[in-house]
Structure 1
């Protein structure tokens, strides 16, 4: 993050950048179509600013990235699985100039068999869904190198399978980097993954990478573009729906779910509802919650995204009503915890701080790395610490220390 520490809330960052730009509250409020009183309350932590559509408008007015206001990227903590080379090593891999041209890609790495490569990709994705970020980031550089070698050295059907696995490896990199707020690196990974997927000639993998590109557009605040990409990608995949198998239905359905979030953040309520309804139809065709191609797709994930879209559209009461009733226990840990953070965000917006804190603490027990590196968790803790009267509770003080939020 440029020029400002991690300890500040979104409102305090807005005030910092506003002063840095030499703007008065009157000027900034006028640009974003809000009152001075509203902006003053935001900057003084008297009301929450958690709708990304509004944060994007403020970021554009201040000529900064959304990540600069929400405190991203975050520093990935070292642990026994990550070692002491984490995002920096993955960055080096993604920025390797030898990937720019096929004339530079001759690799001294011996290509693994397709089966061995598939096993490695499965292990990385399984770890991601278990929210073991350290494991994932530590293994991605070598996995990408091996997958690239396989695409170069294998031929025929094995080469196509290798490119499909390379695309999925890049997708794993993109989703992890998005979680850590490394939006620019995530875009590079998603773009490379989509190029590899196209070389695989596998529509399921291509569809999966469409979703990845949609998520990276979301992470950079390009909500309308992400919505349009969903529409275009869905049109590409629709001809295959008539006789689609479970993987195809799952990839198509999760693409629509990503699009629903994009549309909600673009404040396009109609498109968000259309995407959710069509995803619900795919879930009914699938018949149950599944995890084909690591999508965690099914009726429950559709409900999760209804809650997320509701929060992004400002429908807090709907999110509070539906969110706790969604049973996520059969889904991967990553999905369970992401939904819990959305519930906590809704509860906090209605000043139910104790319930929200309990929700975050329970989520942390399941996936400590995910909670401690997620922007929503940090923003909630920052808000609670600033608004609290007197000394924070033992539970809140401990959580604040773990997510690196200072009083």
Structure 2
């Protein structure tokens, strides 16, 4: 109903639904009525999720309601015509809760090497920003991994549990990306349970990161910060002789935590978490993609830019972001950084530079740009601010990402 509204317009829409005056809402979030009026009329661009979250709390709506998430996943040759509902059905299948209720399957379970290859294919598709393909293939892969976890015994069962945890991790990750926050939480929680059953430290740490991202997507920033601290404590004894895989999942855990701390407006913790991630990247030595983390020095800098934007330090973001060479990273990481750069340019009223950055991102990964709330909100805001007719480039982009 509110897909084609800016965040400011959406705030006004929900405020009126609540029968609340501008004076009352502004008072609840510690702002002036004039500030709220400018937000609702798109004369002030909301640049921090922490502020948007405070408005969501005051209006008693979910953060995703103000961000217009989730968005409809398009049908494409990759996705077919069965998308999120099929994945939701697979995740919420009651037999996932009680494996002993699962019907005996006539077929043999997939071999563990076969499962590993299929999981690698899913992660490769995700990092290539082929969202429709990931969503289409996950329901069948969940069923295969569940079959393997039930059928195998002993050490192979532990390995199968680790693989099942990885499949749920992939599901949680893509669901966060397309705005299905509540379902992402279910997938992350279930994946963590299987990972812990496997006693695989690297997979378990990966799932802690997945839970942190699920918390971020629902605006539970302080909880995500605490999770980062708690999970990192489990790794202290292993870090002195950590493998590249463990360094990578350790570093990305702190990167997720740094975003949570920034959105909670905790500068000290943000910098402390970034320093921990930077030390892991220094020990790793170069950009890599162990356990599909895309972790290394460049990803740390990407998060320095992203957290600077969250904290309102736009000059830091613009000093580091536009010229950062991200070519060593998977497309998903490169495009997310370009969206952040577009946001920083937009907040400095450099709309042409912002549009250039967003168009470059769309060229690499149209699905990712289409489904990121920030892309949609930036384009809507630029259109609303135009005094004359918007440029063909802007209108064409707005049509491609379905906001006009």
State whether TM-score is above 0.5.
yes
Shift of residue 325, structure 1, vs aligned partner? 2.5
Q: 1:169 is matched with which residue?
A: 167
1:304-319 aligned at under 5 Å gives the runs 304-319=302-317
Q: 1:229-262: per-residue Cα shift (whole Å, max 9, x none)? A: 0000000111110111000000000000000000
Q: 2:26 is matched with which residue?
A: 29
Q: 1:132-161: per-residue Cα shift (whole Å, max 9, x none)? A: 001100000000000000000011222111
Contact preservation (8 Å) 1:223, 1:263: yes
Q: 2:48 is matched with which residue?
A: 51
Shift of residue 95, structure 1, vs aligned partner? 1.1
The separation in 1 between residues aligned to 2:300 and 2:213, in whole angstroms, is 16
Q: 2:63 is matched with which residue?
A: 66
Shift of residue 107, structure 1, vs aligned partner? 4.5
The separation in 2 between residues aligned to 1:117 and 1:170, in whole angstroms, is 13
The separation in 1 between residues aligned to 2:101 and 2:56, in whole angstroms, is 39
TM-score (norm: length of structure 1): 0.98
Other structure's SS at 2:211 match: helix
Q: 1:38 is matched with which residue?
A: 35
Residues 1:107 and 1:82: Cα distance change in structure 2 (over 3 Å):
farther
Shift of residue 111, structure 1, vs aligned partner? 1.1
The separation in 2 between residues aligned to 1:56 and 1:129, in whole angstroms, is 28
Other structure's SS at 1:239 match: coil
Query: Which sits farther off after the overlay, 100-109 or 395-404?
Result: 100-109
Q: 1:282 is matched with which residue?
A: 280
Aligned length: 403
Runs of 4+ in 1 over 3 A off after TM superposition: none
The separation in 1 between residues aligned to 2:74 and 2:389, in whole angstroms, is 27
Shift of residue 385, structure 1, vs aligned partner? 0.7
Residues 1:107 and 1:296: Cα distance change in structure 2 (over 3 Å):
farther
Q: For 1:120, which of 112, 118, 121 is the aligned residue?
A: 118
Contact preservation (8 Å) 1:25, 1:40: yes
Q: 1:335 is matched with which residue?
A: 333
The separation in 2 between residues aligned to 1:389 and 1:189, in whole angstroms, is 45
Q: 2:399 is matched with which residue?
A: 401
Q: 1:100-150: per-residue Cα shift (whole Å, max 9, x none)? A: 223313452531000000000000000000000011000000000000000
Gapped regions of structure 2 (runs ≥ 5): none
Q: 1:300-354: per-residue Cα shift (whole Å, max 9, x none)? A: 0000000111111111111111101221011000000000000000000010000
1:8-407 aligned at under 5 Å gives the runs 8-108=5-105, 110-406=108-404
Contact preservation (8 Å) 1:81, 1:138: yes
Shift of residue 51, structure 1, vs aligned partner? 0.6
Query: Which sits farther off after the overlay, 361-370 or 153-162?
Result: 153-162
Residues 1:310 and 1:107: Cα distance change in structure 2 (over 3 Å):
farther
Residues 1:107 and 1:373: Cα distance change in structure 2 (over 3 Å):
farther
Contact preservation (8 Å) 1:59, 1:66: yes
Other structure's SS at 1:325 match: coil
Shift of residue 5, structure 1, vs aligned partner? 2.3
Contact preservation (8 Å) 2:47, 2:312: no
Gapped regions of structure 1 (runs ≥ 5): none
Contact preservation (8 Å) 1:107, 1:149: no
Contact preservation (8 Å) 2:83, 2:135: yes
The separation in 2 between residues aligned to 1:156 and 1:183, in whole angstroms, is 35
Shift of residue 199, structure 1, vs aligned partner? 1.1
Other structure's SS at 1:365 match: helix
Contact preservation (8 Å) 1:106, 1:152: no
The separation in 2 between residues aligned to 1:382 and 1:200, in whole angstroms, is 46
Contact preservation (8 Å) 1:125, 1:172: yes
Q: 1:52-97: per-residue Cα shift (whole Å, max 9, x none)? A: 0000000000000011001100111011010000001000111111
Contact preservation (8 Å) 2:252, 2:277: yes
Q: 1:18-74: per-residue Cα shift (whole Å, max 9, x none)? A: 011011000000000001111000000011013100000000000000110011001
Other structure's SS at 1:324 match: coil
The separation in 2 between residues aligned to 1:210 and 1:322, in whole angstroms, is 29
Residues 1:330 and 1:67: Cα distance change in structure 2 (over 3 Å):
same
